[in-house]
Amino acid sequence: MVSKNQLKFIKSLNQKKNRIKHNMIVVEGLKTIREFINSDFQLVKLFSILEKKINNIKPELLNESELKSISNQKSPDGFLAIFNIADKSIQDQNLYIVLDQISDPGNLGTIIRTCEWFGIDQIICSENSVDCYNPKVVQSSMGSLSRVNVIYTDITKFLKSKNLPIYLADIKGKKLNKSEISNDCIWVFGSESHGISKKVKKLADRSFTIPKYRDGIKTDSLNLSTSVAIILGFLRI
């Protein structure tokens, strides 16, 4: 049986300060839990309403009411786990994706998933971006968070430390053109509400935009995660 204190502790991990304090996160869903078990994240505790082992690990049983009280999902599938957060550091790469002031957890989760699809296993985020271990990010990344490293740092210092061209994704930029883009580079994306900060813009070599299909289209912008997907697809083709 799961104690009230255990349930209270699991629920407390919804808050960033408690995730940082205990270096733990909550992961939900059978498929996603399996992916985290097979990653660098260390399993602390597995819970389930079913007596079903995952990767030969026996869960601690709880009832549906208890699961619903701690779950962040509308329709939990019966499995929930706590993991220790894996240690991460910035790795040298030829192509960096940098996110500045990202605030929407759904966007970040989708970007993580998109980056993995295009072979990007590291994302650099500004320190004021949404926490990648926010339950909505974990859920929307669909397991990709277990394989894509998300690093939070002072991105101005990071950009200055790299001897690579810096490109901004900006609605006011020049139309995407492969002949003007280096294969080894850094791409910076800003939030939909705040855009890219002025101090980061000053460090950029060029700004590019995704052109509309034709004149007369009234939509004035794209969703951030959509923009990341289009540009990565453009670079990888």
94 close to 208: Cβ distance less than 8 angstroms: no
Cα-Cα end-to-end distance for the chain? 53
Predicted confidence at residue 63, as pLDDT, reads 95
Any idea what DSSP says for residue 180? G
Average pLDDT over every residue of 208-222: 91
Model confidence pLDDT, tens digit, residues 146-165? 999 999 999 999 999 999 99
Predicted confidence at residue 221, as pLDDT, reads 86
Predicted confidence at residue 194, as pLDDT, reads 85
The string of DSSP letters for 31-60 reads HHHHHHHTSSSEEEEEEESS---BTTBPPE
User: Quick check: 224 pLDDT over 90?
Assistant: yes
Average pLDDT over every residue of 126-151: 97
What structural domains and CATH numbers belong to the chain?
4-84 (3.30.1330.30), 95-236 (3.40.1280.10)
Q: What is the pTM of this model?
A: 0.95
> How far apart (Å, rounded) are the C-alpha atoms in residues 143 and 185?
27
Q: How far is CA 135 from CA 14, 53, 78, 132, in A?
A: 7, 23, 16, 8
Predicted confidence at residue 201, as pLDDT, reads 97
> How far apart (Å, rounded) are the C-alpha atoms in residues 127 and 19?
16
Q: Which residues contact 105 (CB under 8 A, 6 or more apart)?
A: 130, 134, 135, 136, 137, 140
Paired tokens of 95? 């192509």
Paired tokens of 88? 């991460």
Predicted confidence at residue 226, as pLDDT, reads 97
- For 232, the enclosing helix (H) or strand (E) is helix 224-236
Predicted confidence at residue 216, as pLDDT, reads 87
User: Quick check: 1 pLDDT over 80?
Assistant: no
> How far apart (Å, rounded) are the C-alpha atoms in residues 86 and 92?
18
